[in-house]
C-alpha cells in the first residue's frame, strides 16, 4: 500500500484515524499494531510472518539480555543470536541471489538463483530491531516487557517501509505516554500534505523525464546531464517526501519522529551532505558500526579502514548490486579526501564548494540509479562526451522545454528559500495574517491536485521501496 495511493488516502488512513481517536488509551497501541500489520500485508501477506518472527526474536532477546546482564558471556550470546537471525533473514531475502550470481561468475558454475521477492521495508525494520537489542545490551534503554508496545514500535506503518529509521530509545516513552492535541494533529496533516505534494507533483514528474531518457534512442550529452540532474532531484523529493509524510502521520498519532533530511543540496562539502541526507541512516551507522570500530581514534590506517567498512556497508544496505557498493565506496573516497586534505579549504571557498558538492552528488546518483555498473559507466561516459553522442538532440530539446518549469521548481524547492520566504512573511504583522489565511487554502488545493493526479493513474513509484 502506497501513501500516495487512493486506497490509503481515502479508505485505510481515515478509518484508522477515526478508530484511533475512538478507542480508549490502553488500546491505542494495539489498534496501531493491527493497522500496521494490515498495511504491511496489503500487497504481500506471507511476508508478515517474517516481520512477526523478527519482532518475537527481538522481544525475547531483549528480555534475556537484560536478565543475564551480569553474565556478559550469556548476554553477548543472546545479542549475537538476535543479530544473526535478523541479519540472516535480511541476507536471505535481499542478498542470496547476489552471492549466488557472483559465485557462478567466479567459479563458472550454474547454481540456480533463488529469485526470492524482497519483503518491502525489511532493511528498515531489521535495523530498528537491531538498534533495540543493542541498546538493551548497552544498558541505554530498559527492555520492553509489553510485547504489543515493542511490536507497535517495529511495525508502525507510518515509517515501516521506507523510514526514517526510528530508534527505540527515541520513542520508548512515547509508546507508553504521548500527547494528542488539535495543534499537533494539524501540524501532522500539514506535513503529510506537503510531503505528498513533493512526491506526487515533483518527484513523479521528474521520474517521467528520467523514464523518457532511459527509453530514448535519441540521447545526447546535454540530455544525459539533464537525466542525471533530474534523477538526483527525483530521489530527493521522492524520499524526503515520504519522510515528511511519515513524520506527519506520526504526529497525527502522537509520535515525534526524527527528521531525515535537511536541505542536503545546499551543503558545502560531502561531509556536510551526509549530515543532511538520510540522517537517520547516517547516525545509525555512526553509532552502531563506526564508533564501535574505533571511529577516528587510533592510527590513520584504522581510521581509513573504519570509513571504508561503514561506506561499503552503507552502499550494500541499499541494494544487492555492485553499483550500490561502488556508490558507497565512491563517497568513502571523497569523505577521506575531505577529512585528510581539503575540508578546511572548502569551508573557506563557498562558491567552489557549491559547485563541487552538486557535481559529486549528481555523478553518485547516476551510479546509484543504474541497473548495473555497465549502465552507470555508459551514462557517465555519455555525460562527458566519450560515447560519440552529439551535444544536443531533437528529443532532448523537446523534453527540456516540456519539463523546464518543473526542473526550476525542483531546484528552488530543494533549497530553504521557500521556507525562508514564508518565515519572513510570517514575521510581519499583516504577513502573518495572510499566511494564516492562505495556508489551509493552499494545502487543500495541493491535496486536490495530488488526488486528481492519482485518480488519473499517473506515474507513481516509490524509489526507496527497492531497499
Point out the residues that are catalytic: 318
Question: What kind and span of H or E run contains 78?
Answer: helix 72-90
Q: Which three cell numbers stand for residue 465?
A: 521501496
Contact of 17 with 252, CB cutoff 8 Å: yes
Q: Which three cell numbers stand for residue 89?
A: 533473514
220 vs 217: CA distance, rounded Å: 10
42 vs 36: CA distance, rounded Å: 10
Closest C-alpha to 435, from 415, 419, 413, 411: 419
107 vs 113: CA distance, rounded Å: 15
Query: Between vectors from CA 292 to CA 289 and to CA 298, what angle results, nearest 5°?
Result: 115
Contact of 29 with 148, CB cutoff 8 Å: yes
Q: Which three cell numbers stand for residue 7?
A: 486506497
313 vs 76: CA distance, rounded Å: 22
DSSP type of residue 463: G
Closest C-alpha to 36, from 216, 156, 148, 130: 156
92 vs 98: CA distance, rounded Å: 10
CA distances from 314 to 102, 189, 196 (A): 20, 32, 27
CA distances from 365 to 190, 231, 240 (A): 30, 7, 15
Amino acid at each position: 500500500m502506497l501513501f500516495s495511493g487512493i486506497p490509503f488516502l481515502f479508505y485505510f488512513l481515515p478509518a484508522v484515524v477515526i478508530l484511533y481517536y475512538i478507542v480508549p488509551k490502553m488500546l491505542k497501541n494495539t489498534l496501531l499494531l493491527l493497522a500496521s500489520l494490515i498495511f504491511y500485508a496489503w500487497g504481500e501477506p506471507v511476508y508478515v510472518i517474517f516481520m512477526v518472527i523478527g519482532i518475537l526474536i527481538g522481544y525475547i532477546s531483549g528480555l534475556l539480555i537484560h536478565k543475564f546482564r551480569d553474565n556478559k558471556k550469556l548476554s553477548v550470546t543472546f545479542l549475537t543470536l538476535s543479530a544473526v537471525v535478523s541479519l540472516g533473514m535480511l541476507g536471505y531475502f535481499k542478498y542470496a541471489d547476489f552471492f549466488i550470481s557472483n559465485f557462478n561468475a567466479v567459479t563458472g558454475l550454474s547454481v540456480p538463483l533463488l529469485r526470492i521477492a524482497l519483503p518491502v521495508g525489511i532493511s528498515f525494520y531489521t535495523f530498528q530491531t537491531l538498534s533495540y537489542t543493542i541498546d538493551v545490551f548497552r544498558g541505554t534503554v530498559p527492555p520492553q516487557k509489553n510485547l504489543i508496545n515493542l511490536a507497535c514500535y517495529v511495525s508502525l506503518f507510518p515509517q515501516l517501509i521506507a523510514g526514517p529509521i526510528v530508534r527505540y530509545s527515541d520513542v520508548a516513552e512515547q509508546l507508553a505516554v504521548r500527547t494528542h492535541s488539535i495543534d499537533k494533529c494539524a501540524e501532522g496533516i500539514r506535513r503529510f500534505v506537503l510531503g505528498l505534494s513533493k512526491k506526487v507533483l515533483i518527484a513523479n514528474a521528474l521520474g517521467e523525464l528520467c523514464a523518457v531518457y532511459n527509453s530514448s534512442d535519441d540521447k545526447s550529452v546535454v540530455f544525459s546531464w539533464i537525466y542525471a540532474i533530474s534523477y538526483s532531484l527525483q530521489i530527493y523529493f521522492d524520499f524526503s517526501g515520504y519522510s515528511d509524510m511519515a513524520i506527519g502521520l506520526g504526529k497525527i498519532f502522537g509520535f515525534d519522529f526524527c527528521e531525515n533530511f535537511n536541505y542536503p543540496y545546499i551543503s558545502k562539502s560531502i561531509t556536510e551532505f551526509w549530515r543532511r541526507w538520510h540522517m537517520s541512516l547516517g547516525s545509525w551507522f555512526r553509532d552502531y558500526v563506526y564508533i564501535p570500530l574505533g571511529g577516528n581514534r587510533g592510527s590513520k590506517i584504522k581510521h581509513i579502514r573504519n570509513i571504508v567498512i561503514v561506506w561499503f556497508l552503507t552502499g550494500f544496505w541499499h541494494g544487492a548490486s555492485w553499483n550500490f557498493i561502488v556508490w558507497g565506496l565512491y563517497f568513502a573516497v571523497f569523505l577521506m579526501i575531505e577529512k585528510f586534505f581539503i575540508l578546511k579549504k572548502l569551508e573557506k571557498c563557498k562558491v567552489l564548494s557549491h559547485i563541487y558538492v552538486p557535481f559529486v552528488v549528481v555523478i553518485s546518483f547516476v551510479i546509484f540509479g543504474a541497473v548495473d555498473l555497465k549502465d552507470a559507466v555508459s551514462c557517465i561516459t555519455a555525460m562527458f562526451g566519450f560515447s560519440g553522442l552529439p551535444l544536443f538532440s531533437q528529443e532532448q530539446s523537446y523534453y527540456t522545454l516540456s519539463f523546464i518549469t518543473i526542473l526550476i521548481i525542483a531546484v528552488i524547492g530543494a533549497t530553504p528559500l521557500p521556507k525562508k520566504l514564508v518565515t519572513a512573511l510570517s514575521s510581519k504583522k499583516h504577513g502573518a495574517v495572510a499566511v494564516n489565511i492562505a495556508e489551509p487554502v493552499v494545502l487543500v488545493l495541493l491535496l486536490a491536485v495530488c488526488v486528481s493526479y492519482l485518480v488519473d493513474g499517473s506515474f507513481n513509484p516509490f524509489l526507496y521501496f527497492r531497499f
